[in-house]
Structure 1
Amino acid sequence: MKNITFEAGEILYKNDLTGTDSVTDWIKEGQVKTSTWNNKLLLENRLDPEEYGDRAHWLLWCPIEFPDRIMIEWDFYPLEEPGLCMLFFAATGRNDEDLFDPSLPKRTGYYPDYHSGAINTLHLSYFRHKHAEERAFRTCNLRKSHGFHLVTQAADPLPPVEDANYPYHMKLIKYDEYVQFSINNLLILEWIDDGTSFGPVLQGGKIGFRQMAPMVAAYSNLSIKHAIKI
């Protein structure tokens, strides 16, 4: 696939994510613990996965509604594993409702509610160190939902926590039918949605961070800008 190039346009949203106070207006789904680590936002689970299983995971949503053709950038610091980290984007209700429309069923971080529930979204998993098979052969996975469709995957260069040399600069571009993801300016994956195989091309919507317990990671320097194809 041809590597399409982009430049950053107008800033739509900027949040340095310097700690808990940076996300007081963000929407929590599930029991997420926020704290401050080295002037960065630290995220982890409140519920013990040994007791709560898959219901110990969570999602933290930026409250802003974004248009299409955007460039999402952030710095990522993996600190404790096992776990898995994801970015959700282009998230709306399945009938084009706002993601937080009160008519939609309540979501509490349980994964099936996001991939096979009442919402449409794209979700990228970029640090898949939760299960033994994921750690043995590491990939980044891009899925489209409703329906939990694995649309593309690629090798994940992120090392185990003990070898991490953070920060890792993450960049995701959503431009109409095209998705591109890179880490430290290394192209990881790209995908073109044909708008047929897995439903219509998703447009606009919300973005959010997800971790699978007991992952602990820090985040900083989030920005969302218009993406300009060059």
Structure 2
Amino acid sequence: MECPLFETGDVLYYNRLACEQDLSDFHAEGEVNMQFIDNSLVLASRLNPEQHGDFAHWVLWCKHDFPDRISIEWTFKPLEEPGLCMLFFAAQGQNGEDIFDQSLPRRYGHYPQYHSGAINTYHLSYFRRKWPDERAFCTCNLRKSAGFHLVAQGADPLPTVKDVKESYQLKLIKYEQYIQFSINNLVVLEWLDQGSEFGSMLTTGKLGFRQMAPLKAMYRDLKVSELNQLAVTT
């Protein structure tokens, strides 16, 4: 794969995720419990998955729309597992609507509403510890929807919660057809969306965090920046 080199431009959005006021930019779908500990946002489900199954999970959307050619960075630390963490990005209605358009069906955190519903989006699963097979062989998965298409996969370097000693710096690059995900500057996966399968390349839209219960995790310092391409290496 040809690997672009980028220069970070202007910061388009920054949120410390450090206090309740910082959540005014966000919209929850599903029963999410939000706390602030040590100037960080700690997220979990209000519902017990043993009672509510797959309806115990949730999505927390940032209300802002973002362009193409961006990097998305955030600090992450898993606190309790099992569970799963995901980032949606470039999310729009299938006909270009805002994802909050009243004409779209209501969503409340149930995964099929997002991967095979009325929206198009990329979704990156970067901490997959929900099911026994995910814990036995840990990967990060990139999918494109609508349609739940697995388009890229890479080894997950994050340890299980009992071995976590620090927070991790996560970074997602979306520059036209090129998508790259890294953890602590280690590239985990890359993919080129040629727009020739699974629908046209996705560009602008919203981003959102998703967790599967009963996972509990910490988030801090969400930053979205413009990207300028410098060169292409092979």
Fold shared, TM-score > 0.5 on shorter chain: yes
- Which residue number in structure 2 is paired with residue 139 of structure 1? 139
- Which residue number in structure 2 is paired with residue 150 of structure 1? 150
CA distance in 2 between counterparts of 1:122 and 1:99 reads 13
Mean Cα deviation higher: 10-19 or 86-95? 10-19
- Which residue number in structure 1 is paired with residue 16 of structure 2? 16
- Which residue number in structure 2 is paired with residue 171 of structure 1? 171
CA shift for structure 1 position 38: 1.2
Gaps of 5+ in 1: none
State the identity %. 59
- Which residue number in structure 1 is paired with residue 181 of structure 2? 181
CA distance in 2 between counterparts of 1:7 and 1:83 reads 34
Aligned partner of 2:57: which letter? H
Contact 1:54–1:110 (CA under 8 A) maintained in structure 2: yes
Question: In angstroms, what is the RMSD of aligned CA positions?
Answer: 0.8
CA distance in 2 between counterparts of 1:19 and 1:9 reads 27
Contact 2:35–2:43 (CA under 8 A) maintained in structure 1: yes
Aligned partner of 2:53: which letter? G
- Which residue number in structure 1 is paired with residue 128 of structure 2? 128
- Which residue number in structure 1 is paired with residue 109 of structure 2? 109
Any idea what the Cα deviations from partners look like across 1:95-138, whole Å, max 9, x if unmatched? 00011101000000000000000000000000001111000000
Over 3 Å off, 4+ runs? none
1:37 aligns with 2:9: no
Gaps of 5+ in 2: none
SS of residue in 1 equivalent to 2:157: coil
- Which residue number in structure 2 is paired with residue 73 of structure 1? 73
TM-score, with length taken from structure 1: 0.98
SS of residue in 2 equivalent to 1:95: coil
